[in-house]
Amino acid sequence: MQQLPNVTFTAAQLRDREVAGEIARKYLLPQAARHDRDCSFNEDAYAAAVEAGLFKTWIPAEYGGSENGVLGLSMVVEEFSKIDPAFGVAFAVNALGSFPVIVGGTEAQKRKYLPKVASGECSCAFALSEKFAGSDAGGLAVRAEKVDGGWRVNGEKKWTTNGSRAQLITLFAVTDPDSRSRRISAFLVENTDPGFSIQKVEDKMGIRMVPVVETAYDEVFLPDDRLLGGTPGLGFKHSMMTLDLARPGVAAQAVGTAAGALDLATTYATRRKQFGAPISSFQMVQQMLADMGMQTEAARWLVYAAASMSDMAVKPKNITKYAAMAKCFATDVAVRVATDAVQVFGGYGFMEDYPIAKFYRDSKILQIYEGTNQVQRLVIARNLIKESGALDYLNGVIPTEVQETFGANAEIVNA
107 an active-site residue? no
Strands (E), 205-364: 212-223, 273-274, 277-278
Tally Cβ neighbours within 10 Å of residue 382.
Answer: 14
User: Closest Cα to residue 137, out of 102, 89, 184?
Assistant: 184
Give 177-201 as a DSSP string.
Answer: TT-SSS-EEEEEEETTSTTEEEEEE
Nearest-angstrom CA–CA distance, 144 and 233: 11
Q: Answer for the pair 190, 168: CB distance below 8 angstroms, yes or no.
A: yes
Query: 3-state DSSP call for residue 375?
Result: helix
Q: What backbone phi and psi angles, to 5 degrees, belong to 171? A: -110, 135
Q: Which of 43, 62, 370, 404 is catalytic?
A: 370
DSSP 3-state percent helix, strand, coil across the chain (nearest 5): 55, 15, 30
Name 263's Cβ contacts closer than 8 Å, sequence gap at least 6: 82
Active site residue ranges: 370
